[in-house]
Each structure stands twice: as C-alpha cells, then as structure tokens.
Amino acid sequence: MKEFDPLVILAVFQEMLGIWLWVLLLLAVGGVVAFLALWIRERHLVSRRLVQSEAVGLLGGVLALVIMAKVSSSGFTDAGGPLDWLLIGVIYGIGFIGTVILVYAFMGWWDQFRRHP
C-alpha cells in the first residue's frame, strides 16, 4: 500500500462494525456539537460536572476495549509488541475522552432544561 486512502480505512471499519460504525460516528459528532454548544452557552467548564463525567469516562474506556476485542479477530493475550500495547492504550483513551464529552454534554443540557422549563 503505497498511498493512504481514507475510503479503504472506512471500508475496513464498515466491515468490522457494520451499522454500528455509523451509529458511533453520529454519536461522536452529535456529542461534540452538543459539548461545544453548551460550552459557548455557559462560557466555562463546570468542574463538578467534569469530574463526574471523567469518572464515567473510565467505564467508557473499558467499553471501547470490549468493543475492540469483540470486532477484531485477536484478543488481549495476542498483544505482543509495544505497538500493540500502544494501540490498546489509544483505543482506551479514545473511549475515555468520547465518553467524557458525551456525559458532560448530557449532564449540562439536562441541567439547562431542568432549570428553565
């Protein structure tokens, strides 16, 4: 493979995840938009909400690893080299950060709607 082709990467992820690829992409884009809209509206981050969403993010990282193990043909015992462990760490990190953003946005908008009926 001499060139990087994003459509090949998309096809591989589509083959691995099926319809869940699109669900996860919509969830990611929707979460980021909701987070940015909340941040613009409040003009600051609420530390209590951030810490609570980080606590839930720990579970989101674990869930990302579980999904990775389900959709790939290898498990954690097959990880041999440093690059394998780096990839496992990156997948955990993406799951953690994504969950923090989603939970923070959900909690923030929930507070907004609860205060202003």
Residue 28, in any domain of the structure:
yes
Identify the pLDDT of residue 60. Answer: 96
Residue appearing with tokens 């205060």:
115
Confidence of residue 117 (pLDDT cuts 50, 70, 90): low
Cα end-to-end distance, the chain, whole Å: 56
For the chain, the domain total comes to 1
pLDDT of 33-63, one tens digit each?
999 999 999 999 999 999 999 999 999 999 9
The answer to whether 34 touches 105, Cβ cutoff 8 Å, is yes
Does residue 106 form part of some domain? yes
Residue 76 has what pLDDT?
66
Q: Do 43 and 86 form a contact (C-beta atoms < 8 A)?
A: no
Q: Please give the Cα distance from 64 to 87 (Å, whole number).
A: 12
Per residue in 57-115, pLDDT tens? 999 999 999 988 888 877 666 777 788 888 889 999 999 999 999 999 999 999 988 88
Q: Which residue has the tokens 């589509």?
A: 14
Its domain, for residue 18, covers 6-115
pLDDT at 4: 79
The Cβ of residue 97 has, within 10 Å, a number of other Cβ atoms equal to 15
Q: Does residue 59 fall inside a structural domain?
A: yes
Query: Looking at the domain assignment, is residue 1 inside a domain?
Result: no
pLDDT value for 108: 95
In the predicted model, is pLDDT for residue 1 greater than 70?
no
